[in-house]
Amino acid sequence: MVWFGNDSILIYEKIENCIGEICKHLLPIKHEHYIGNGSAIAICTLSSIRLLTEISNDTKLMNELAIVGRLLSENKGIDELINYCVVNKQLEHLVICGRDSRGHRAGESLIALSKNGMTKEGIIINSKSPRPQLRSSYEEVEIFRNRIIIHNLIDETDLNRIRSLVEELI
């Protein structure tokens, strides 16, 4: 994507916010995340809402997790995830699983951010997403990159396989 300056970015953000509000009403998703009893492991189910529900209903697994949530966007969603990781200093592991959203490719962007970082303009380096621009500071991104170990299980939806990885991390 070619960027045409701040005016284009502001217009794009307004359109994106408007579409997001419409989607909230037309396609309501009850929960974006569930808090667990653990502190060191988080799971991101990307766009797999069914998997999010399955994990949240697994009492034993939720006792080991700090949080399980979904991630649908390569910008605002990743900013929120980074903020959670920075604030929750005991968090060490992030398991990325489930199906990545076709358009936004948030999981792919999260992996690219972890490996490559971002430019001074906030663009995730080597992301293939349509708008991989973050508002997180460079310092916050570096805290995330240095503290959090990413476990890439993108496209994995088998709860037993995810549970096995979590058990290895405990």
Q: DSSP labels for the chain?
A: -----HHHHHHHHHHHHHHHHHHHHHS--S-SEEE-S-SSEEEE-TT-HHHHHHHHT-HHHHTT-SEEE----TTHHHHHHHHHHHH-TT--EEEEEEPPPTTT-HHHHHHHHHHH-B-TTSBBTT--SS--B--S-HHHHHHHHHHPEEEEEET---HHHHHHHHHHH-
97 closest CA partner among 61, 62, 60, 52? 52
- Residues 130 and 103: beta-carbon distance below 8 Å: yes
Q: What is the mean pLDDT of residues 159-168?
A: 97
pLDDT of residue 115: 97
Q: What is the mean pLDDT of residues 115-143?
A: 94
Report the share of the chain in percent with pLDDT over 70. Answer: 82
pLDDT at 80 over 50: yes
Biggest alpha carbon distance in the chain? 50
Domain spanning 31-169, CATH architecture: 3-Layer(aba) Sandwich (3.40)
Q: Render pLDDT for 3-33 as a digit per residue (tens, 0 to 9).
A: 455 555 556 555 555 455 554 444 444 568 9
What predicted TM-score, i.e. pTM, was given to this entire model? 0.82
Identify the weakest region by mean pLDDT among 6-20, 29-43, 147-161: 6-20
Q: What is the mean pLDDT of residues 81-92?
A: 96
Locus of tokens 């503290």: 147
pLDDT of residue 159: 97
pLDDT of residue 75: 85
pLDDT of residue 22: 53
Handedness of CA 1, 105, 15, 133 (dihedral sign): negative
Q: What angle do CA 40, 43, 46 make, to 5 degrees?
A: 155
pLDDT of residue 15: 58
Give residue 36's identity as a one-letter amino acid code: G
**What confidence category does residue 47 fall into, taking pLDDT thresholds of 50, 70 and 90?**
very high
Question: What's the whole-number average pLDDT of the chain?
Answer: 87
Token digits for 21?
A: 């509000």
